[in-house]
Amino acid sequence: MLVKYYKILPCVAFAGAMSLVVSYGSAMAATSNSRSEPALYSQLEAFHGHVCAGSIFGARLGLAAKEVLKASGGTGKFTARYYDLSCPVDGIQVAAGTTYGNKALSVQDRDEHRLVLTAQGNRRSVEARLTKKAEEMGLRSRDLGNKIKVLPANAPERAAFEREVEEIYTWLKSAPVDEVVSVTTLNSKKEKR
């Protein structure tokens, strides 16, 4: 019987640690007005396992939606729906604090980078979407990543592509919100899409 506990314990410990990471990241995001909060992005990298445009998108969507929902009077626990099963889901979990573990996040895989965040206290909702420029930057980083994978480590082009990807990630983390995310307040009819 003791062996079974040893097999379960690492999973439980990992889930607990990740829950703390998400909680701490959400607390840091809530206390900071900075769009480029280094602690948030460090925690996102640890939670997601690597840096990518998608996880950064999720963080930006989650932060922007949370800010607008609070400013519009949203009360109570927040819940989220995201419409693509991909890397942004982890960014949303870290930045908005709406996780699978606390049953505050659902995903419908419709290939749309769209987040609907709802305040359960008064049912107010906002919708956050990426701007065209942000989507283009994400696609560019993905294309560059594919080129990097096939080049030898010492290829001069590889270093140039890696620098360009880093510049894209820096822009995605630090650009003004309205250049990366568009957030609109929804009425209850529109929310039920």
Taking the C-alpha atoms of residue 24 and residue 67, their distance in angstroms, rounded to an integer, is 17
| SS3 of 38-61 | HHHHHHHHHHHCCCCHHHHHHHHH
> What is the tens place of the pLDDT at every residue in 74-128?
999 999 999 999 999 999 999 999 998 889 999 999 999 999 999 999 999 999 9
The answer to whether position 166 is within a domain reads no
The answer to whether position 147 is within a domain reads no
Task: Say which range, 20-34, 57-71, 110-124, 130-144, has the weakest mean pLDDT.
Answer: 20-34
Q: Do residues 153 and 167 lie in contact, with contact meaning Cβ atoms separated by under 8 Å?
A: no
Task: Please state, for a pLDDT cut of 70, what percent of the chain lies above it.
Answer: 78
Read off the amino acid at residue 107.
Answer: V
- For residue 37, how many C-alpha atoms fall within 13 Å in the half-sphere facing its CB? 21
The answer to whether position 139 is within a domain reads no
Q: Please give the tally of structural domains in the chain.
A: 1
Average pLDDT, the chain: 84
**Cβ neighbours around 156 below 10 Å, total:** 8
The answer to whether position 159 is within a domain reads no
The answer to whether position 42 is within a domain reads yes
Mean pLDDT of 39-68: 95
CATH code, domain carrying 87: 3.30.1330
The answer to whether position 157 is within a domain reads no
Say how many residues make up the chain.
193
Closest CA to 60 of 29, 106, 20, 103: 29
* Residue 187 confidence (pLDDT): 72
112 is in which domain, residue-wise? Answer: 2-127+184-191
Instruction: Decide the pairing of beta strands 181-186 and 125-130.
Output: antiparallel
- Tell me how many degrees the CA angle 164-161-173 measures, rounded to the nearest 5: 30
The answer to whether position 33 is within a domain reads yes
Query: Is the CA virtual torsion 176, 181, 182, 185 positive or negative?
Result: negative
Chain centroid to CA 3: 37
* Residue 17 confidence (pLDDT): 42
Taking the C-alpha atoms of residue 70 and residue 185, their distance in angstroms, rounded to an integer, is 11
